[in-house]
Amino acid sequence: MTAPLTDGAPPGRPLRADAARNHRRIVETAAAAFESDGADVPLEEIARRAGVGVATLYRRFRTRDVLVRAVLEDVFSAEIEPTAAAGDGDPWADLAGSLGRAVDAIAGRRTILQLAREAGAFDVESVQRYGATLARLLERAREAGAVRPELTPRDLSAVLVMALAVAEGSDAPGSASGEDRARFLALLLDGLRPGHPPLPPSSED
C-alpha cells in the first residue's frame, strides 16, 4: 500500500490534486532516470523530464535523499511487496513463485536499491509487511512438508541475496541474463526442499 502523499502539506493533510499529480510525475520520472542514467542524474534533469520547474521538485523533495526515499517507497510497494502475495494454491509453487518474482523485480531496480542503501532510505514498515507475508508462505509450505522443516524467513532472505548476486553487473559482457537468474534460482530453491541433510544451526538459534 502506497503511503499517502503529504510532502509540502501540513502533517496529516493530503496533497491537492495538482500537487499530487506533480508528486507522482516526479517520482515516476526519477525512478526511470535513476535506472537509465545512473545515480548521478541531476535533479534539474529529472524536473525537466517530468515537465515541472526545478523549484517545484525542490518544494516537494528538499534533497536528493528525500526523493530517493519516495522513489524507493513507491517501487517497493508497487513492485516488490506484491510478489509475496499470500496464495491459496500449491504451497511450494506459491513460495517458489514469490521468490522468483521478487528476484526479477529487484534485479530490475538495482540502481534505486543501491541509492536507497547509501541514503539509508529503506522503509522499515514496508520491509516488515513483505517479510510477514513471506513468512506466511513459508509456514504453509512447511506445514505441507514441501520444504525443510528447519527453514526460517531469514533463510529465504539469504536465498534472495544469493540469487541477486548473480544479477549484479548483468549488463556487462558475459554476465548473467534473466535466463541465468532463473537457472541459478532454481538451484538455490532445490536446497529448500526436504530430503537433504539438516542445515547447520542458525546464528539466531
Model confidence pLDDT, tens digit, residues 99-114? 988 888 888 888 888 8
Domain ranges across the chain: 17-62, 75-190
Q: Is 75-190 a CATH 2.60.120 domain? A: no
Question: What is the residue-wise DSSP string for 118-183?
Answer: HHT---HHHHHHHHHHHHHHHHHHHHTT-S-TT--HHHHHHHHHHHHHHHTTTTSTT---HHHHHH
Q: Quick check: 84 and 103 in contact, CB under 8 A?
A: no
Q: What is the pLDDT of residue 203?
A: 75
Q: What DSSP designation does 61 have?
A: -
pLDDT band at 3 (very low <50, low <70, confident <90, very high): very low
Model confidence pLDDT, tens digit, residues 44-93? 999 999 999 999 999 999 888 899 989 988 888 888 888 887 667 899 99
Look at residue 148 and tell me whether its pLDDT is greater than 50: yes
Region 30-46: mean pLDDT is 92
Candidates 1.20.910.10, 3.40.50.1100, 1.10.10.60, 3.30.450.20; correct CATH number of 17-62?
Answer: 1.10.10.60
- 10 Å CB burial of residue 27 (0-12, 13-18, 19+) is buried
Region of residue 73 (left: phi > 0; alpha: psi -120 to 50; beta: else) = alpha
Look at residue 1 and tell me whether its pLDDT is greater than 50: no
**Which of 10-14, 45-49, 138-142 shows the lowest per-residue confidence on average (mean pLDDT)?**
10-14
Please choose, from the candidates 32, 58, 35, 30, the residue with its C-alpha nearest in 3D space to the C-alpha of residue 46. Answer: 30
Q: What is the pLDDT of residue 142?
A: 95
Model confidence pLDDT, tens digit, residues 185-205? 888 999 999 988 888 887 766
- 10 Å CB burial of residue 143 (0-12, 13-18, 19+) is exposed
Check residues 168 and 102 and name the one with the higher pLDDT: 102
User: What share of the chain has pLDDT > 90, as a percent?
Assistant: 34
Q: What is the pLDDT of residue 130?
A: 85
Helix (H, G, I), strand (E, B) or coil at 4: coil
Q: Whole-number mean pLDDT of the chain?
A: 82
Q: Quick check: 177 and 171 in contact, CB under 8 A?
A: no
Report the chain's C-alpha Rg in angstroms. 19
Please choose, from the candidates 48, 35, 154, the residue with its C-alpha nearest in 3D space to the C-alpha of residue 106. Answer: 35
Rounded-to-integer distance, Cα 144 and Cα 27, Å:
42
User: What share of the chain has pLDDT > 70, as a percent?
Assistant: 83
Q: What is the pLDDT of residue 43?
A: 94
pLDDT band at 143 (very low <50, low <70, confident <90, very high): very high
Rounded-to-integer distance, Cα 84 and Cα 102, Å:
8
Q: 17-62 and 75-190 share one CATH topology?
A: no
Q: What is the pLDDT of residue 182?
A: 82
Rounded-to-integer distance, Cα 141 and Cα 106, Å:
23
